[in-house]
Structure 1
C-alpha cells in the first residue's frame, strides 16, 4: 500500500467530458452555463416547485426501475437461484414440524441483524442526505440499556421480551453495584450499525472507480466538485476546501491507515475519502477493510462509551437536578423529566406495565422529532431523484445543441 501511495502522490486528472468540451479547460461561458444549470436543479425541491418535482421524481423512478430490470435480466441465472432459495426458506417457514423452533430463532436473529445494518446503511446513504439513525435509534437504545443496567444491577435481561422490551431479571435489584460495562460496549447492535455505515460508503467509491476506468463523466455532483478541487489545489484559500484537501491528501498518501483515521472519527467529509480512493484506484479491500474497522469498531466504541458515560445514573440525576435549579422555569421543566425516569423504572420491574407514553410530553416530543426527521429524509430522496432527472434533461439538451 505504501508503494501505491507513493505512486499516486501526483494528482492524476482524468481526461473527461469537462476537458473535451473546449479542447482544454472549459471557458467562462461553459462555466456560467454549468452554474445556471446547477442553480436550476437545486431550485427543484418540493417546497418551491412541488408539481414539477413530483413529476420528475416519478419519471426518474421509472428510469431507475427500467435500468434495474435490465440488470436483473442480464443476471437472470443469479435471480433464479435467489428465487429458488427464497422458495426453500418459505417452505421451511410454512411447514409444520420440530424444525420450527430453529426457524423462528434464526428469523429473530436475522431480522435483528438486518434492522441495525439497514439503519447503518440509511445513515450514510440518503440520496442527498443521510438519516441520522445513531441519534434516532442506536443512541437511545444504548441509553435505555445503560439506565436499565444501573436500575437492575445487571444486563442479564430475560429474552424475550428483550430486546423489544427491557425487564429486570428476577432476584436482581439496584443493590448490586458491579455492572458488566463490557456487555454494553461489546453488544452486537453497535457493531452491526457500524458495519451498515461502512457498506453505505461504497457507492461513492464504486462510482469514482468506474468513472476513472471508463473515462466517462459520472452523473454525480460530488465527483464534479472533487475534480474541481483537484484543479484548484494550489490556490485554495477557504477553510472548507483546505479541509477537503487535507482528507484527500491523507487518504492518498497514507493509504490504509489514512482511511482508517478518517473513518474512526465523526467525519462529514468521509464521502470525499471514498471518491478519492475510487479515483486513484485504491484496492477495494484496502478501502472497505479500513472503513469497516474504523466505523464498526473504533468509531462505534467511542460513540457508545460517550453515551454510556453520559447516561450513567449519577450523571442523569445531576442533570435533572441542574434543570430544577434554573430560575422560574426550572421546577416546571424538572417535573416531566422526573416523571419520565420514574415511569421507565416502573416498567423495568413490571413487564407490560407503567405510565403510557402519551401521558408524558417528553415521549410525545421525541416521537414528533423522529417523525419530522423521517419526513425530511423522504423529501430529500424525492428532491434528489427529481434533480437527477433534471440533469438528464439538461445533458440531453446540450448534446442536441452540439449536433446542430
Structure 2
C-alpha cells in the first residue's frame, strides 16, 4: 500500500514536472518568436531609415536649400517691419491659389464623382468679372475688396476697350490654379493602376476591374461607350505624351480612363503628369474661359434675357427677375453699400445657393456610398475565402 502511494506521488510529481517543462518550452518559444519579430522589425526600420537618410544625403543640396528658404520665410513672416506688406501680399496670393487648387482637386478626384466646382465656383467667378468689366469699362478693380467682392474703380477712368484677352488675363491665375488642381486630382487612378500592375495585387476598385474586363473583351466591343474608351486607351498607349495631351486638353468624361491606362502600362510619371498639367491647366482652361467670357459678354447676356421674354405664357414673368438681378448687380458695382441690390438678387441667389448645397450633399453621399460598397465587398471576399479554406 505504501509502495502504491509512493508510486502515485512520483507519477504526480513527474506529470507536474512535465507540465511545468511544457509551459517553460511554450514560454521560451513565444519569447523566441517575439524576439525574432522584434529583430525583423528592427532590421526593417533600420534599412528604411538608412535608405531614407541616404537618399536625403544624396540630395543634400536640395535639402539644405529647402531648410534655408523655409527659415528665411519663417523669419520674414514673424519679424515686424516694412517688408510685412509684401509678406501679406504673398500670403494672400498663396491662399488664393491654394483655394482654387483645392477646388480643382475636388472637381476631378473620385473617378467621375467629383464635385463640379467649375460650374459652382470658377464659372460664376469668371462670369462676374466679365459682366463687371463691361459695366465698369475697366478690369482695374480695387484690391481689397477684390477678389472677395468686385467694385468699379472710384476715380474717373477712361473707358477702356474691353477685349476677350483683357478679361482672360484678369482671371488667368485662378483659372490656371483650378486647372492644375484638376491635374493633381487625376493622379490617384494613375498610382492605383501602376501599383496594381507592379505588385500583381487586386486594387479592389470597380473602375480598374472594368478596365481589365474591357481589355479582355476588346475584340468583341460593340457599344459606342466601350469603343470610345478603347479609342482613348489606344491613343494614350500608342501616341504617348501627345496622346495624353490631346485627351487632357479636350473636355471629356473619359480622361479618368487615361490615368488608369497610363498607370497600367507603366507610362513614366512625368510623361503622364506633364501632359495632363499642360492640357488641363493651359489649353483646356483657356477653352473654358473663352466659352464663359463669350457667353456672359454684355450683348450676349442682353440677347439671352430678351429671348427669355419670347417664351409663350411665362416669358414675361421669367424675364422680370433676370432683368432685376442684372440691374441690381450693375448698381452694386457702382454702389456696393446701397440697398438696391438686396431685393433684386434674393430670388436667384437663393436658388443658386440651394443648387450648390444639393450638389455638395450629393458629392458627400457619393463618397460615403462608394466607401460602404468597398467595405461590403471586402467583407464578402473575406467571408468567401474563409469558407473556401474550410
Q: Evaluate the alpha carbon distance shift between residue 222 and residue 92 of structure 1 in structure 2; reply closer, same or farther with a 3 A threshold.
A: same
Q: State how far apart, in whole Å, the 2-side matches of 1:139 and 1:392 are.
A: 40
Distance in 1 between the 2:150 and 2:119 partners? 20
**Structure 1 Cα separation of the partners of residues 364 and 333 of structure 2:** 35
Q: Are 2:248 and 1:260 equivalent residues in the alignment? A: no
Per the alignment, residue 68 of structure 1 pairs with none
Counterpart-to-counterpart distance in 2, 1:159 and 1:291: 33
Q: String of CA shifts for 1:203-244, please: whole Å, max 9, x gaps.
A: 101111111111111121111000000000001111111111
1-structure distance, mates of 2:78, 2:372: 42
**Match of residue 144, structure 2, among 160, 166, 170:** 160
Answering whether residue 183 of structure 2 is matched by residue 183 of structure 1, we say: no
User: Greater CA deviation, 208-217 or 88-97?
Assistant: 88-97
d(CA) in 2 for partners of 1:359, 1:245? 47
**In structure 1, which of residues 126, 134, 141 is the aligned counterpart of residue 110 of structure 2?**
126
1:185 Cα deviation from its structure 2 partner: 2.0
Which stretch of structure 1 is more off in the superposition, 325-334 or 337-346?
325-334
CA 1:238–1:308 in 2, change beyond 3 Å: closer, same or farther?
A: same
Number of the residue aligned with 1:380: 366
Larger radius of gyration: 2
Residue 314, structure 1, aligned to residue 299, structure 2: yes
1:52 equivalent in structure 2: none
Which residues of structure 1 form unaligned runs of 5+?
Answer: 1-73
What is the SS of the residue equivalent to 1:275? helix
Q: Check the 8 A contact 1:128/1:381 in 2, yes or no.
A: no
Within the alignment, does 1:232 sit opposite 2:187 as a pair?
no
Cα distance between partner residues in 2 of 1:359 and 1:228: 51
- The corresponding residue for 1:244 is 229
Closer/same/farther in 2, CA of residues 378 and 89 from structure 1, 3 Å limit: farther
CA-atom RMSD in angstroms: 2.7
Q: Structure 2 residue aligned with 1:287, among 252, 272, 275?
A: 272
Match of 1:334 in 2: 319
SS at match of 1:380: helix
Q: Is the 8 A contact 1:153 1:172 kept in 2?
A: no
Residue 401 (structure 1) aligned with residue 384 (structure 2): no
- Give the 3 Å change call, closer, same or farther, for CA 86–219 of structure 1 in structure 2: farther
**In proportion to residue count, which structure has more helix?**
2
Summarize deviations over 1:349-401 as a string: whole Å, max 9, x none: 12333412685311110111001101111111111111221122122112212
Q: Is the 8 A contact 1:250 1:258 kept in 2?
A: yes
Q: Give CA-to-partner distance per residue, 1:294-315, whole Å, 9 cap, x none.
A: 1111111111100000101001
Secondary structure of 2:267's match? coil
Map 1:134-149 → 2, pairs under 5 A: 134-149=118-133
Q: Classify the secondary structure of the residue corresponding to 1:360.
A: helix
| TM score, norm. by length of structure 2 | 0.78
* 1: CA distance, partners of 2:234 / 2:72: 50
Does the CA contact (< 8 Å) of 1:127 and 1:381 recur in 2? no
Q: Say which SS state the counterpart of residue 178 (structure 1) adopts.
A: coil
Q: Following the alignment from structure 2 to structure 1, what is the Cα–Cα distance between the partners of residues 361 and 190?
A: 28
Alpha-carbon contact 2:112-2:253 (below 8 Å) kept? no
CA contact (8 A) 1:142 1:304 kept: yes
State how many pairs are aligned. 329
Task: Determine if the alignment matches structure 1 residue 102 to structure 2 residue 79.
Answer: no
**Secondary structure, counterpart of 1:356 in structure 2:** helix
2:286 aligned to 297, 301, 309, which one? 301
Larger RCO, structures 1/2 (Cα 8 Å, 6+ apart): 1
Distance 1:352 1:226, change over 3 A: same
Q: 2:137, 2:159 within 8 Å by CA — same for their partners in 1?
A: yes
Secondary structure of the structure 2 residue equivalent to 1:116: helix
